[in-house]
Amino acid sequence: MEVFNIKKFSLHDGPGIRTTFFLRGCPLNCIWCHNPESFRKLVGSKSCDTSESKNYGIDKIVEIAKQDLPFYEESGGGITFSGGEPLLQHKELIEALKRLKDEDIHTAIDTSGYADPDLFRNVVTNADLVLFDLKLYASKKHKEYTGVSNHKIIENFYQLSDNSVATYVRIPLIPKITDTEENLFALKELLLQNRSIRRLDLLPYNELADSKYKRLDINHEIAGLKTQNEIQLNQIKSIFEDVPFEITLRG
């Protein structure tokens, strides 16, 4: 498995205390992700910087995963595979998930949902939880901002419900791109059709690392965007008020 980072005591990638393996490679090319190492810091979501990775055999992955077993058991935590896009390494991923199931360790996959539907089903049915990123409902816009159409993503999203795979949905709130009322209402309709959702995490934009963009002059579209204020966040939250699952701001 190509892994570019391993984070223990990871607190925001699923329930409890977890160890997160960040796997290399991503098929998306999100516009807000051009300065990859800081993107994760912008929205508190997964990283897109996968350049420096190391190869781990499955045995090693399981060995590292087991190190914090007492913490998972105490806290209801486990392992999360994030990325990049972990499904790019689906073969090893399925094997790792099966091995961890044998060890009675809870597993989660943090995915963009962009994968071949058969392959996607094979992977997610071996995990205990899926953290599913939803960004934009409108397919055209999705392609414009992420480089790919969202058809597969939406199909896979339905598969989660069809196969009763417990799911946390995460929406990164990029100002004026994903946080528009139009987009959020549309995503909400989509969410309501999925019976497997346990939780929705709305991830506010964080302007703190913004100065870096200015300095590097990389992305004018992203530069200058401001963190949503409390009023805006409450408005956004109120859109999802009546959904039948838990909502969090900031995951």
Partner 1 sequence: MTPRIKKLREKTLSVQPYISLERAELLTEFYNSPEANGLPIPIQRAKAFEYILLNKKLYVEDGELIVGERGPAPHATPTYPEICIHTESDLEILDTREKISFTVDARTRAKHLNTISPFWSGNSMREKIFASVDDNWKEAYSAGIFTEFMEQRAPGHTVLDEKIYKNGFRDFINKIDQVIAKLDFISDNEAVNKRNELNAMKITAEAVIKFSKRYSAYLTELSKNEKSPERKNELETMAGICERVPENKPNTFWEALQYYWFVHLGVITELNTWDSFNPGRIDLNMYPLYQRDLDSGLLDKDHAKELLMSFWVKFHNQPAPPKVGVTAQESNTYTDFCLINVGGVDERGQDATNDLTYLILDVIEDMRLLQPSSMVQISKKNPDKLVKRALDIIKTGFGQPSLFNTDAIIQEMLRQGKDIIDARLGGASGCVETGAFGKESYILTGYFNMVKILELTLNNGYDKRTKKQLGPETGVIEDFRNFQIFMTAFRKQLEYFIDIKIKGNRIIEKLWAEYLPAPFLSILVDDCISSAKDYNAGGARYNSSYIQGVGLGTLTDSLASIKHNVFETKSFTFAELKEKIDSNFDGDIDFRKILTDKSPKYGNDDNRADDLLIDIFEMYFQLIDGKPNTKGGQYRINLLPTTCHVYFGSVVGATPDGRYAGVPLSEGISPVQGADTNGPTAVIKSASKIDHLRTGGTLLNQKFTPDILSDESNKIKILHLIRTYFKLDGHHIQFNVVDANTLREAQKNPEMYRDLIVRVAGYSDYFINLGNDLQEEIIRRTEQEI
Binding interface with partner 1 (CB under 8 A): 7-9, 11-12, 16-17, 38, 41, 43-44, 67-68, 70-71, 74-75, 77, 203-204, 206, 208-209, 211-212, 249-251
Q: If you ran DSSP here, which 8-state letter would residue 227 be given?
A: P
Q: For residue 132, give the 3-state DSSP assignment.
A: strand
> Which residue is it, tokens 């939780």?
199
Cβ–Cβ contacts within 10 Å for residue 87, how many?
26
Between CA 171 and CA 178, with CA 175 as vertex, the angle to 5 degrees is 40
Give burial (CB, 10 Å; 0-12/13-18/19+) of 220: exposed
Of the two residues 115 and 184, which places its CB atom closer to partner 1 in the complex?
A: 184
Whether the CB-CB separation of 92 and 53 falls below 8 Å is answered with: no
Taking the complex as a whole, how short is the minimal distance between the CB of residue 121 and partner 1, in angstroms? Answer: 30
Whether the CB-CB separation of 146 and 33 falls below 8 Å is answered with: no
Of the two residues 73 and 221, which places its CB atom closer to partner 1 in the complex?
A: 73
Of the two residues 18 and 142, which places its CB atom closer to partner 1 in the complex?
A: 18
Of the two residues 6 and 138, which places its CB atom closer to partner 1 in the complex?
A: 6
Of the two residues 41 and 141, which places its CB atom closer to partner 1 in the complex?
A: 41
Taking the complex as a whole, how short is the minimal distance between the CB of residue 203 and partner 1, in angstroms? Answer: 6
Taking the complex as a whole, how short is the minimal distance between the CB of residue 240 and partner 1, in angstroms? Answer: 17
The length of the chain is 251
Taking the complex as a whole, how short is the minimal distance between the CB of residue 114 and partner 1, in angstroms? Answer: 23
Taking the complex as a whole, how short is the minimal distance between the CB of residue 186 and partner 1, in angstroms? Answer: 24
Of the two residues 11 and 218, which places its CB atom closer to partner 1 in the complex?
A: 11
Q: If you ran DSSP here, which 8-state letter would residue 228 be given?
A: P
CA dihedral sign of residues 18, 22, 26, 28: positive
| Beta strand spans in 24-74 (E) | 54-55
Taking the complex as a whole, how short is the minimal distance between the CB of residue 94 and partner 1, in angstroms? Answer: 26
